[in-house]
């Protein structure tokens, strides 16, 4: 059974699909394609069925990442099939931990920037939705900075499962 990682933001059209695309590229580069499944969702269903925000798509494509995305809302029932739920900010972290049916499920929820050794106090990835393209570029920088640390943690877990 593959190791599953789900990135979660508010509407699943900006931050979480960006993190999904970037992390999927890291997983592929590490040769973990069949072992690690990556997806994303939102805490709310406002944008369900829509594609990623055009600014997200633009920033991803400009930086060499693929973007094929359909927004959806995170479901409580998913906890049983997911190994790691990655929240993009502290409000998502709190909401997802409240939704978790068990303490073990609540422990699966972590902040993305907690995997960035350079991140100190503010572990939130700011929501770029109401701003201009610069906010989306900043979002990408923060996601890229945290991805190697997250990949290392996932690799360790995958290897632990195989042992």
All domains of the chain in start order, with CATH: 3-162 (3.40.50.2300)
- The Cα–Cα gap between 49 and 62 comes to 24
pLDDT in tens, the chain (163 residues): 899 999 999 999 999 999 999 999 999 999 999 999 999 999 999 999 999 999 999 999 999 999 899 999 999 999 999 999 999 999 999 999 999 999 999 999 999 999 999 998 899 999 999 999 999 999 999 999 999 999 999 999 998 887 6
CA distances from 39 to 10, 24, 26, 29, 36 (A): 14, 8, 13, 17, 10
pTM: 0.97
Predicted pLDDT at 163: 65
Q: Is 15 a catalytic residue?
A: yes
Q: What gap in Å lies between CA 163 and CA 155, rounded to an integer?
A: 12
Write down the catalytic residue from 9, 53, 55, 139: 9
Q: Which candidate in 4, 72, 97, 127 is catalytic?
A: 127
Task: Assign 3-class secondary structure to the chain.
Answer: CCEEEEEEECCCCCHHHHHHHHHHHHHHHCCCCCCEEEEEEECCCCCCCCCCCHHHHHHHHHCCCCCCCCCCECCHHHHHHCCEEEECCHHHHHHHHHHCCCHHHHHCEEEHHHHCCCCCCCCCCCCCCCCCHHHHHHHHHHHHHHHHHHHHHHHHHHHHHHC
pLDDT for 27 equals 98
Is 68 a catalytic site residue? no
């Amino acid at each position: 059974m593959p190791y599953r990682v789900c990135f979660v933001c508010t509407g699943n059209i900006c931050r979480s699909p960006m993190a999904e695309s970037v992390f999927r590229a890291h997983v592929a580069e590490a040769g973990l394609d069949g072992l690690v499944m990556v997806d994303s969702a939102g805490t709310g269903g406002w944008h369900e069925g829509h594609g990623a925000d055009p600014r997200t798509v633009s920033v991803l494509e400009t930086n060499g990442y693929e973007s094929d995305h359909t927004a959806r809302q995170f479901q409580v029932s998913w906890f049983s099939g997911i190994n790691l739920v990655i929240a993009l900010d502290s409000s998502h972290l709190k909401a997802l931990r409240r939704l978790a049916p068990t303490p073990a499920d609540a422990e699966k929820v972590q902040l993305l920037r907690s995997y960035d050794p350079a991140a100190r106090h503010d572990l939130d990835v700011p929501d770029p939705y109401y701003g201009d393209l610069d906010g989306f570029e900043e979002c990408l920088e923060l996601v890229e900075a945290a991805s190697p640390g997250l990949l290392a943690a996932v690799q360790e877990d995958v290897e632990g499962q195989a042992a």
